[in-house]
Amino acid sequence: MHSGKDDKGGFPGFGRGASTPGAAPSMGGMGSSGFGTPGFGAGAMTGGLGGAGDGGMAPKGAGGGHVVDVTVETFRDEVVERSKRTLVLVDLWASWCGPCKTLGPTLEKVAADLGGKVVLAKVDVDANPEIAEIFGAQSIPTVVLIKDGRPIDGFVGAQTESYIKEMLKRHLPAAAVDPLIAALELEQQGDIFGAMEALRELAEAERPTKLARAHLARILAQNGAIDEARTEWQQVAPDELDSDPAKTAKALLALEEQKVDLAPLEAAVAKDAGDLKAQLALGKGLLAAGRTEEGLDRLYQACIVDLKFDGGAPRLALLEAFDALGPTNPLAIQYRRKLSILLCS
């Protein structure tokens, strides 16, 4: 046995498809039906590891850590039986093997990062040559991924953390998609109706999804369904009223009430630029009419003239506008920065 890959760059003892998703590597004394190598006290093993010959032995390592040391005596419990519940990554190593010293800590980190989705089973081949024989390992480090008592993937030699994680990713179940995130992605993709339907379902479920109704109220308000938005907003849970979507919905509903005939306000401001009351009303009216940049600029100019006017009304009007536009709106970000500079000057 030596350290490293064979001369052809392959995987000694492994079938060429070892790193192909879904492939079942061929390993020396191990057939496709599982581990049937003599010396493991299993008798005739058919239909995979841990068949009728295991006597129903309970796994000793159940509930253990993410890294376990495996011997001939514990192989069945720690690898065979455990692999029926979670993926087991077998690391065949030796103290004299240089690449093993590099790979070992990397494997342990990956196992820790995956938080129990994979168990690392470390095998000292000098102390347990029978296990190395069963895998047909001719080089070390040799790493084999086991599922349901069968090898499904693996590699030889020291590999990078990203390589190992990519290999494991092919065999781990896909992460569950957060339904709220999925609904909001529909909105980002332009499927507003689909997003609203998904959010409504989440909001009206027996156990409502947090923020689903707040986002529903926001989207309804942003798309002109004001009456529906108001109904939904009134049902937002008290502990969600300070969330971004709830504040955006509230601000949009308030802004809707600011819709006025702009002509008289524009005339009043043209006549007296110092008329801050008219300036504020015009700024809010412009925002309500969808003339966002003009409205923000009017409110900002009022702040420049007198931040403390009418109990700080110019600043409060801008903050309400920021809420209505949402935290990611570029214009809101721009004018929030300008207001911050003004307040600090």
The catalytic residues are 97, 100
Are the C-beta atoms of 24 and 177 separated by less than 8 Å? no
- Nearest-5° Cα angle at 305, 301 to 309: 110
Q: Residues 35, 54: contact at Cβ < 8 Å?
A: no
What is the distance between the alpha carbons of residues 242 and 317, in angstroms, rounded to a whole number?
18
List, as own/partner pairs, every contact residues 298-302 make where C-beta atoms lie below 8 angstroms and the sequence separation is at least 24, other chains included: 298/269, 300/335, 300/338, 300/339, 300/342, 302/276
Contact by Cβ (8 Å): 113, 162: no
Q: How many whole angstroms from its chain centre is CA 79? A: 29
Name which of 129, 151, 154, 170 is nearest 33 in CA terms: 151
Question: Structure tokens of 100?
Answer: 């093993």
Residue 46, φ and ψ in degrees, nearest 5: -125, 155
Token pair recorded at residue 306: 């007198």
CA distances in angstroms from 80 to 61, 126, 151, 231, 320, listed in the order given: 11, 21, 10, 57, 62
